[in-house]
Amino acid sequence: MAPRAETRPEARRMAKSTGRLAICALLGLFGAEPALALYPKKGDSDPHGGVRDARRRVIQGIDVSRWQDEIDWQKVKDAGTRFAFIKATEGGDHLDPMFRKNWAGAKAAGVPRGAYHFVYWCRPAKDQVRWFRRHIPRDPDALPPVLDVEWNGESAKCGKKIPREKALAKIREMLKGLQEHTGKKPIIYTDITFHEDVLEGQFNDHPYWLRSTAAPLHHRYERKQWEFWQFTTTGRVPGITGDVDRNAFFGSEHEFAAWRDGRYDIGARKWRGGEPKVATTPKPPATPAGLRTPKAAGATPLKFLPPGRIPRSARAEVATTGSIARD
């Protein structure tokens, strides 16, 4: 996720050297990118083997903000991108300057998208609720919104941590505001430090989107489950110049579609109206072992004669040749 706009280090926007890119490309081809078969057009300028499980996930997407500049959303779509989270608002007075363009562009290209709000701990929660209600669209086809909770450590004006209980109260108020505004249960995005300081054991019925770019999530978080995994900040995706965050969804195609339709609560892992039943084909009546031909031969029932009896049609052949004639 993008830190506060006026504090993000410009050094993070510098391009990688040609030599390093070549080495990383080779690493990606030989083991560091096992998901190349799923997303052959995507890559990583600095891949890490510790997140290979995320790269194997079938459903992957991105998150973007002003730092990705102009985006060719059709190319992003053609690369296989299944979802995009787009920065909308921050604190109580900042609107990402690329939000409206990205929001419209993703929809036009057919990329499912959701908006995220970056929490600024030095503004009252009610101010931030008022601000994102003003700017985050209530599109019925949008993904659920995201509340991005991290410490504002890079901010010159708001770099200090606040007490845990105060942070939880603000989060609770903003989650409520987002859900009332959009009608959808918000996703919580967070990083390792903030989760450990504030979120362990909290809001467990909400979907969690966790960041870990160098190790499996269970090595970094005291959580039994996750719903989205931000596994790299150095991803490469056609249509975007430079690095972009890449993310993985935890579940199957069926679960992803049902979550989008509102039939499956991925945070609580509950189906609305019960989990759909999968139709099964009735099994044929059991037949004693050895009484059917192999499946390749049609699995038809076999008829056995009593021991010592030879079919009448074969007796003449036995008398003249000493064996049963073959077809």
Catalytic residues: 150
With H, G, I as helix, E, B as strand and everything else as coil, classify residue 64: strand
17 burial (CB, 10 Å; 0-12 / 13-18 / 19+) is exposed
Strands 208-211 and 228-236: parallel
Enumerate the β-bridge partners of residue 116. 87, 146
Take residue 278 and report the two structure tokens written for it.
């999968």
Structure-block tokens of residue 259: 């979550």
The packing angle between helices 164-182 and 125-135, to 10°, is 30
Longest Cα–Cα distance in the chain: 108
Per DSSP, the residues of 222-269 read --S--SEEEEEEEEE-TTS-S-EEEEEESS-HHHHHHHHHTSEETTTT
Helix (H) or strand (E) holding 95: strand 94-95
Give the integer Cα–Cα distance in Å for 92 and 123. 7
Nearest to 266 by CA among 278, 277, 276, 254: 254
- The dihedral of CA 228, 85, 255, 267: what is its sign? positive
Separation of alpha carbons 83 and 256, rounded Å: 10
